[in-house]
Amino acid sequence: MSATIIDGKAAAAALRERIRLQTEGFVARAGRKPGLAVVLVGEDPASSVYVRSKGKATIAAGMASFEHKLPIDVSQDELIALVDSLNADEAVDGILVQLPLPKHIDEQAVTTRIDPDKDVDGFHPVNAGRLATGLNGFVPCTPYGCIMLLKEQLGDLTGLDAVVIGRSNIVGKPMAQLLLKESCTVTVAHSRTRDLASVVHRADIVVAAVGVPHMVKGEWIKPGATVIDVGINRTEDGLVGDVDFAGAASVAGAITPVPGGVGPMTIAVLLRNTLISAHRRAGVAYDKDAL
């Protein structure tokens, strides 16, 4: 194994500490805590763990956490009524509805109901549009976490060839936009891409977000490339990513592990977005460079 293993846990802990310090400053100036409301529908074990972790991290950062747990059979109208009340609640700076939602609820109807200026997940079409056009909005947490790890590892990304595998609205597309913003040459590959191996082999940066265990093979990776594995797949062998880690680590320059890579950044960036929202809503300036 020759690659540097990118430590997402350490990067997330460092970001959370910077957030905690800026939160102290916000509380002193605004006279209130930034508030994050998280909505969980049902009792999916993984979602329950993530929501619990978000609540703990919010409180540890010095923010107010509002948890709303709804039964699995809650109606879409009831869920939307809760979102409306959170939109109107002055103590709430950020709203997040944990995904996935049960099949009888239309995810888009719910995420588009969230006030775009409280949409700390960055899933609302208004925020997707802001990202695509270079306006200030909220950027989805996982892709932003990937960019932070890449910049920490590589510094300036200008001119690098980047391949994003996956075209979802919540990871693949925003990831491609963020890489473009960093002046990378970006290719978005997907299930219909021809000769994926050779597309990946050209890339200085590979971001895998397909949800298929070990799909990206070590021999596809260009020697020295940086590999970011967004996959979190629960298999008989435990939690694995979308990349064949052992194979890729023997040729890559740097690679994120699963677990302990991108995952921990997701919650840290959620706190970052909440803190930014609180500053914007209170009209208080913040230190962009520390976040």
Ligand X SMILES: Nc1nc2c(c(=O)[nH]1)N[C@@H](CN(C=O)c1ccc(C(=O)N[C@@H](CCC(=O)O)C(=O)O)cc1)CN2
Q: For residue 281, say whether it is annotated as part of any ligand binding site.
A: no
> For the window 223-242, what string marks contact with ligand X as x by the rule CB under 6 A?
---------x------x---
Under the binding rule (CB under 6 A), the answer on residue 260 touching ligand X is yes
Residue 177 is among the residues annotated as catalytic for this protein: no
> For the window 40-59, what string marks contact with ligand X as x by the rule CB under 6 A?
------x---x---------
User: Is the distance from CB of 204 to CB of 160 less than 8 angstroms?
Assistant: yes
Q: Six-digit token pair at 12? A: 């997330």
Cα 226 versus chain centre, distance: 18
Under the binding rule (CB under 6 A), the answer on residue 174 touching ligand X is no
> For the window 123-162, what string marks contact with ligand X as x by the rule CB under 6 A?
------------------xx--------------------
Catalytic site residue from 22, 33, 93, 98? 98
Q: For residue 234, say whether it is annotated as part of any ligand binding site.
A: no
Smaller CB distance to ligand X: residue 98 or 277? 98
Under the binding rule (CB under 6 A), the answer on residue 121 touching ligand X is yes
Among 177, 266, 273, 277, binds ligand X (CB under 6 A): 266
Pairing of strands 238-240, 233-235: antiparallel
> Which residues are known to be catalytic?
54, 98, 121
Kindly list the residues in this chain that would bind ligand X in the complex (CB under 6 A): 46, 50, 96-99, 121, 141-142, 232, 239, 258-260, 263-264, 266-267
